[in-house]
Amino acid sequence: MLFREIVGQEKIIEELARSYRNGRVSHCQLFSGAQGSGTLPLAIAYARLVLCGENSSSRNSCGLKISELKHPDLHFIYPVANNLDIKSKAISVNFLPQWREFIHSNAYGSLYDWHLSIGIENKQGKIGVDEVSDIFKKMSLKPYEGGWKVAIIWMAEKMNLSATNKLLKLIEEPPDKTLFVFVSEDPSSLTETLISRCQIIKLKKLSSEKISKELISRGYSSEEARAASMHSSGDFNKALKAVGNKEEENVFEEWFLSWVRSAFKVRTNKEAVIELVSWSKALSKKGRETQKSFITFALDLFRQALLKNYFLNELTIFSPKTDFNFETFSEFITGQNIEEISQELEKAYYNIQSNGNSNMIFMDLSLKLTRLIHRS
């Protein structure tokens, strides 16, 4: 990963390069930014600069090792959980081949994408104390190549308190030439003590223009790029999914269709409530990251329905893969109900994230939808 491969973030890249040239590399840095803004690829590109210098390329030894994510002085920590292959005490190193594949396929991928790739989509990955014990040993050793040692902690907000406290001991008394780069989408979840030890680098959401330009450079048509960027909300990963692999969206569309059909029927057929109860129970058995991703999908679909209802078809990119009559559905989404529907979905997302009872959350959301969807 090179700086020139990063989408946008030019000012931050310039600042990082300047600080390196001036010999001002803070041993603890926090890269924070919204999902899809490029925090992880930027962290990897920065690690490359620190480990290999400004003149490195994929052709020299150091640059090649970084490109393959096999540099002996570059270490990663990321949320994991036990799966069918790792039965107990899972740590990052157990999933290193999958991690490399994940980064090479899409360094802008989300936490949900990562969970899917290692078969824990129905669990919540975490960074525990065993993880920190492992990195503690690695960062305490001398560098293999005589320069820096770098640890990138992705989704640092998934680190529990015990792990944080143990890692703080190493950060407060770091070995010479060690760099810790914390990557977070929710820095408010980190302890104040940890944040106070780090230099904070805040990434902005990507503009539609930056996303569109990058998609076009990757071979997508200007129409595809423009439509995807308009609905990406500054999330490059979301834009890539809009023009690429839609398997996840197809599943979510089926769930959404079942949900709104049942909600519509309740007005004339009270027994349809039983369908909503079953739907809520089924979704509650999915992992929380899956649930949150579905809510995000539903929120975007409701907003696109509003645009279609107001004849802004050029801004609508949703194309049903099922027998979902999106045009008819959009007639029910208006300025009279979209705001409250959005608020209820956002509230459900927050409650899921806060480990609320997902069955109750989705049932409550479903009952409210039966009322709101008929308001016009």
pLDDT in tens, 331-345: 999 998 999 999 999
pLDDT band with cut points at 50, 70 and 90 for residue 164: very high
Both structure tokens of 199: 């230099």
Confidence at residue 59, expressed as pLDDT on a 0 to 100 scale: 66
More confident residue, 124 or 158: 158
pLDDT at 215 over 90: yes
For the stretch 18-52, pLDDT in tens is 999 999 999 999 999 999 999 999 999 999 999 99
Average pLDDT over residues 355-372: 93
Confidence at residue 274, expressed as pLDDT on a 0 to 100 scale: 93
CATH 3.30.1300.30 assigned to 3-202: no
Confidence at residue 126, expressed as pLDDT on a 0 to 100 scale: 93
Look at residues 261, 284, 253, 255 and name the one whose alpha carbon lies nearest to residue 370: 261
Q: From CA 312, how far away is CA 121, in angstroms rounded?
A: 35
User: Which of 133-137, 182-186, 223-227, 306-310 is the most confident on average?
Assistant: 182-186
For the stretch 311-362, pLDDT in tens is 877 667 777 788 888 889 899 999 989 999 999 999 999 899 888 999 999 9
**From 55-69, 172-186, 350-364, the region with the lowest mean pLDDT:** 55-69
* CA distance from start to end of the chain: 50
pLDDT band with cut points at 50, 70 and 90 for residue 245: low
Both structure tokens of 21: 């040239």
| CATH of segment(s) 246-372 | 1.20.272
Confidence at residue 145, expressed as pLDDT on a 0 to 100 scale: 84
Task: Identify the residue whose tokens are 């936490």.
Answer: 111
Q: Report the run of H or E that residue 152 belongs to, with start and end.
A: strand 149-154
pLDDT at 2 over 80: yes
Torsion of CA 272, 277, 280, 281, to 10 degrees: -140
pLDDT at 247 over 70: no
Query: Is 211 in contact with 300 (CB distance < 8 Å)?
Result: no
Across the chain, mean pLDDT equals: 90
pLDDT at 229 over 60: yes
Every domain of the chain and the residues it spans:
3-202, 211-244, 246-372
Strand ranges of the sheet holding 199-202, from the earlier edge strand across to the other edge: 74-77, 149-154, 178-184, 28-32, 199-202
pLDDT at 376 over 70: no
User: Which of 95-99, 143-147, 288-292, 297-301 is the most confident on average?
Assistant: 95-99
Q: From CA 89, how far away is CA 129, in angstroms rounded?
A: 10
Average pLDDT over residues 243-262: 83
Q: Report the run of H or E that residue 362 belongs to, with start and end.
A: helix 358-372
Q: From CA 135, how far away is CA 293, in angstroms rounded?
A: 31
Q: What is the pTM of this model?
A: 0.75
Query: Is 13 in contact with 49 (CB distance < 8 Å)?
Result: no
